[in-house]
Amino acid sequence: MQEIILDIINQFGYIGVFLLITIENIFPPIPSEVILTFGGFLTTYTNMNVWGVIISATIGSVAGAIILYIIGRILSAERLARLIDSRLGKLLRLKKEDVRKAERWFSKHGNKAVFFCRFVPIVRSLISIPAGVAKMQLCPFFSLTVIGTFIWNVVLVFLGRIAGNAWETIVGYVDIYAMITLTVFMLTAMVVGTLFIKKRFLNTSKLQGDK
């Protein structure tokens, strides 16, 4: 995949950066760190300049985020509520209150979540979906997405330019950072999942046994 990314940027320059970053936001496994650091490196010996790469990447990031946001709006809390009423929802012991709780949480913390998650690989893309589901206002979503992705892009593009031929070293460090942050997210999800199972399944079984 990395060779394909490099070939596209080499051939199409800014347009390549824009397209790759847009796709990266929709399909998170594509590594943005490769796109951005290599783009920064190219500015050391081609006609491409740092701010051109940053602006192209930022526009691509926002375009991808908007697409996922729209998908979230299509899903909507109402559709999720209907899913909860389905056989699958009952099997998983989900409740409509779970959707309302998630909405309330996002209404309270959504701005911070959208901004800070832009600095976490994979999550930086996926956060747009719950923002859409929660019907977060487009103006703050757009503004926070632009600011967050702009900062992320500036850091990686400049690091790629500074590193020069050693730009892949930066990719390695970002991969380590990604592994650490994703591990933290996974552990947190496991804890939350364990508590949910204990509350919905084990406690319920215990109460039924007591009867």
Cα–Cα distance for residue pair 134/80, rounded to 1 Å: 11
Residue 138 is inside which H or E element, if any?
A: helix 138-163
Instruction: Give dist(CA 104, CA 88) in Å, integer.
Output: 24
Which residues touch 96 (CB under 8 Å, ≥6 apart)? 81, 84, 85
**Domain count of the chain?**
1
The per-residue pLDDT for range 77-133, each reduced to its tens digit, is 666 666 555 554 555 455 555 556 666 667 777 888 889 888 887 778 888 888 888
Q: What tokens were used for 156?
A: 């990686």
What tens digit of pLDDT does each residue of 153-184 get?
A: 999 999 999 998 888 888 888 888 878 877 88
What range does the domain containing 47 cover? 2-210
Q: Does this model's pTM top 0.85? A: no
